[in-house]
Structure 1
Amino acid sequence: MTNDAWKREVEQALAQVKLQHQPSFEKLYELTNAKLYGLVLKIIPDQALATDALQEAYHKIWLNAEQHRADLGSAWSWLCQLTRNQAIDRVRQRQRLQETSDEEVPEAFSESEATLWPEHIDLNRCLQTIRAEQQNVIVHAYVYGSSHSELVKKFDAPLGTLKSWIRRGLKELRECLEA
């Protein structure tokens, strides 16, 4: 497919996405995901974080497609700009989280609890091996019992992203504890 034909297909798909046409959104994704993922990877080299940022970008594309104005620019440039902004927002969010994580990440269990339950020592050790944002969200969700809405508010991140952090963090914890 030539570049011009590809751009026309992207324009047509986005026009249908504006009408909330799900199959067109899937087509738009198929047409653009590899290129947009490459764009995100230039800003966020970590593949897991880049995937999260791209997922959030597509969510925004679905929600805000009607904001694209063809008279102001091509669909492709609009998609690139929205995706780029989402990736930059993710970098800023991560920086804010890292600034607060050093002082806010508690141990899941105190030393006195750990002496009563030796497996808590292993859990605390393994918690230190996962990313700060995963560690923070897991502790707040499972130790403090924070609800989804509380987590969204505290970490200023979409619920889907928080769930991904928890899922990946728990997988890494399981691998560490089984090692």
Structure 2
Amino acid sequence: MAEIIFDYEVCLLACARGDHRALHQLYEQDSSRLLGVALRITRNKALAEDIVHDAFIKIWHGARSFDPLRGSARGWVFSVTRHLALDVVRSAGRDVPLDDQYEPMAEPAQTVEFAARSGQIHQCLEQLDPTRRTCILHAYVDGYSHSEIAQKLSTPLGTVKAWIKRSLAALRECMA
């Protein structure tokens, strides 16, 4: 039996038209992974759950602003969540301790798919220049802002932004 691939772009377009079922499908598809993104940044399960809730509200209200020429629909959904989580952490002005009750929420089939895709992303990351790879990891794993990365690497902000933009394009191409 062929695996059905979730079409994020179609789903966002349906959300933009006011289709509540599309938002529900998106929630079912990625809420646990989005929680993982928010949890990795905030290190607080309750706060991460609030961020995911707020992200879905923002996705619902902002679906019309999604532009497929600027990136993938799935990437847009994840960046909405990531930016909300970073905003919350920055506005708190402090690090939040890891919640003792954290438990991974992925199902076995998702774990297998994730493992296969993560192997591919690791291969693609290895193809990047080490400094550019470090920028990507700081931005998308550690949750640093572009200016924090520039400061950490003693590199001009514009250079860091350009490295990240080009590296993301290279990763997109490699993953395709």
TM-score between both structures, scaled by the size of structure 2: 0.49
- The structure with more radius of gyration: 1
Whose relative contact order is higher, 1 or 2, with alpha carbons under 8 Å and at least 6 apart?
2
The structure whose residues are more often helix, as a share, is 1
